[in-house]
Structures are given as structure tokens and as C-alpha cells.
Amino acid sequence: MTKNTRKVPTKGGLKFTTAFAVLMTTATLSQTALADEQQAAIERGKAASALCMVCHQADGSGKHVTDGESWPRLAGLNHEYLAAQMHAFKEGTRDNPSMNGFVQMLNDEQIQDLALYYESLPATAGEAPEVSEEVLALGEKLATRGDWDRYIVSCQSCHGPGNTGVGAHFPGIAGQHAGYLSAQLKHWQANERSSDPQELMASVARRLNDEDIEAVSAWLATQPATYTAKE
């Protein structure tokens, strides 16, 4: 008859097990603290967003006034991108009469809080103008394939699958208001905006004509703001 034996952990094994348990507990507590800190920042950003609601709406969806100014959707955009743009307005590398005054009232923490808050909101569809199918077809071509005969790269080459954004430098432009997209492309063309890395946007915008800008802005506005992989 064989005796049942139980292997007793060695002293070294006990030390390792204890150290591992402490490490995992510390990591869990750190993650919880980080999540709590981020949630607190989002709540502070929500309070500060009272400054932004008049133009960007309570849900961050923005709005477009026909033949007037267009305010972008902020909801769902990358927080690093949003913070960088607010700093650009504050430092004068971007210019907008509506933004210039408001952003001067914000300190660095408030800018970060606002950026995290708007990133946390669900992205909503932008306002698309009524245009012909031919215009939309041209816009789709430029956004998804570009026009290599004119050295125009596609929007999604930088802005990612579905043009829903990649990191801090390439924001989601799908589902953005057509009026805002059109205005920004014209600002790039005229060297009135210069916060792009390596002047990538400026070089693309200068190759577009007015018809291209209308078309690509209109088509992007019709697209979902969040990417869903096709099966």
C-alpha cells in the first residue's frame, strides 16, 4: 500500500509565491487607482464643458450652420488629439475667433480633463449636405483610394480604417460635419493652419480643388463615426 504524500513548498517557493501575490495585489490596486483618477478627471471635464456647450452641444456632437460657421463633433475623438488642439489654440498655432477666448480661460489640467471627457462620449453622426451621387462617388474615391495621377493619397492612409482615427495626430474624420471638414481643408490650403506633423495635411490639401474638397467632405460626413470590421 502506497502512502499519500503531500509536497511541502520549499522556503524559496514560499517566498516567490508571496512576492507574486504582493505584486499582483499592487498591480490591481494601481489599476483601480488609475481608473478612479481618470473617472475623476472625466467628471471634472464634464463640469468644465459648460464653456463648450453653446457651440459643440451638450453631447459634443457639434453643429453646422448653412452658409455660416461649423463647429466640429468632439465626442469620441482621441483625448491626446483634443488636448493638442486646445493647446494649439492657446499658443496661437491655430486660430478661431470662437475658440481663442474660451481656451485662454483653461489651465493645463482643465484641458486634459475636457479632452478625456469628450473622448468618453459616444461618437455621433455628422451633418451631411445634400449632394449628387456623382459628388459622393468622387468623395469616396478620394477618401478610400486617393488619386495617384495627382499624387493625392487617400484619407484612410493616415486616418485609419474607416477614417475613424489613429492616435494623437490623425483624428477620426468619418461622421464629422461636412462644413467643418471643408473649412479645415481650405485652412490647410491657405497656410492658415499648421499644427500637422511634417505638413502632411497641408501638402495633401494643396493638391485638392474646390470640387474635391466638397466631395470628400460630403462623403466623409455620411460615414459612421466608429469603425466596424467587415465580415
Annotated binding site for heme c: 52, 55-56, 99, 155, 158-159, 201
Spatial separation of the C-alpha atoms in residues 118 and 42, rounded to whole Å: 8
Helix intervals (H) in the chain: 11-48, 53-56, 79-91, 97-103, 108-120, 133-144, 156-159, 178-189, 200-205, 210-221
Annotated binding site: 52, 55-56, 99, 155, 158-159, 201
